[in-house]
Structure 1
Amino acid sequence: MMITVEKLSIQDAASLFQFEVRNRAFFEKSVPSRGDSYYQYDHFLRGLQALLDEQEQGISFFGLIKNSQGDILGRMNLVDIEKDEGIGHLGYRVGEDTAGKGVASQALKLFLEGHAPHLNVRMICAKTTLDNISSQKVLLKNGFEPYDMESETPDDFLHYRLCVV
């Protein structure tokens, strides 16, 4: 399947909202709910504008995974970019009808090749739940390595990182 990872823009608002609504139940099986208000369009638009402001400031990158017809298949984000340390935090999700088809792996590869070099990061961190085997495979396939967080309190996540040259 031919896909792209495109930088989020306000023109994507309506189709992104539909993607989120359509996949709400699927996403909430593995991540905490974003709450009912997120699924009200006016609230969604305010949140989207906040993300676009972050992106403009260079502290986050929000990408949309699209097929060749321009349909949104998922999201690929790098957030909380710490410019001084050169560290960003990866997050991604693909829709239910796309899950398990290699789209996340392919999109992460495209993101690392096409967008990460322009984001002034030296290291990309990611985490996934212990039972999210497919996400773990996506990260490992794209060169991420597991590491232990130096934290006083254990958490229920596996942590990964990738050094970007």
Structure 2
Amino acid sequence: MHLQQLTAAHLDAVLEFETVNREYFAAVIPDRGDGFFADYPARHAALLRMQAEGTDLFHLLLTDDRTVAGRVNLVCISDGEAEIGYRVGRDFAGRGLATEAVGRVCVLAGAVYGLKRLRAGTAVDNHASRKVLLRNGFGLLGETTSGERPSLRFLLELTG
């Protein structure tokens, strides 16, 4: 597996990944809605602008044949902190790829991007996501709600 920062060339592959996995993802997180898929080229361009401005950084986990297996994003970058979010496609789940990809992005966040802290959240009932965070050294901050769902908040102090 290869970790690569999002580029314009990834548009079709990311849209396919999100489309193929839409129902799978919607089982644990709110669906992105039809508009996300219908207007994805504009969304992709906006992601690239945010990345160029340094407010967000988007990473893809790619197979050897360049299929998107997962995504790991650093968003809302400010004051040495960012929120990390991730997803691995149904066909790649259960292999430790999310743990590996999140770990690799955490290293990049500290060593390359100069971040000091990463925040994360997951639904209380999303046990797989919680395991990914805990295996990567995130500490539980407490409970909250996201939308109307009970959620957990996590924090990782980066060493650089």
Q: Is this a same-fold pair by TM over 0.5?
A: yes
C-alpha deviations, 1:102-122, integer Å up to 9, x for none? 110011122122354222311
- Residues 136-161 of structure 1: per-residue CA shift (max 9 Å, x gap): 11111111110137xxxx42111111
* Kept after mapping to 2: 8 A contact 1:73/1:95: yes
Partner of 2:74: helix, strand, or coil?
A: strand
Unpaired segments ≥5 residues, structure 2: none
- Check the 8 A contact 1:109/1:142 in 2, yes or no: yes
CA distance in 2, matches of 1:107, 1:53: 23
Aligned AA (2:131): K
Alignment: residue pair count: 155
Q: Which residue of 2 aligns with 1:9?
A: 7
The 3-state SS of whatever aligns with 2:154 is strand
SS in structure 2 of the partner of residue 91 of structure 1: strand
Higher strand share: 2
Does the 8 Å contact 2:109/2:115 carry over to 1? no
Instruction: Output the TM-score relative to the length of structure 2.
Output: 0.92
Aligned: 1:90 with 2:84: yes
Q: Secondary structure at the match of 2:92?
A: coil
**Structure 1 stretches of 4+ moved >6 Å:** none
Whether 2:71 is the aligned partner of 1:75: answer yes
Residue deviations 1:41-94 (CA, integer Å, cap 9, x gap): xx1010111111000011110000112222100100000001x3x110000001
Q: Sequence identity, in percent? A: 32
Give the aligned residue type for 2:3.
V
Q: Which segments of 5 or more consecutive residues in structure 1 lack a partner in the other structure?
A: none
Match of 2:93 in 1: 99
Q: TM-score, normalised by structure 1?
A: 0.89
Q: RMSD of the alignment, in Å? A: 1.3
Task: Specify the alignment match of 1:118 in structure 2.
Answer: 112
Q: 2-side partners of 1:60 and 1:52: how far apart?
A: 9
Which of residues 21, 34, 47 in structure 2 aligns to 1:23?
A: 21
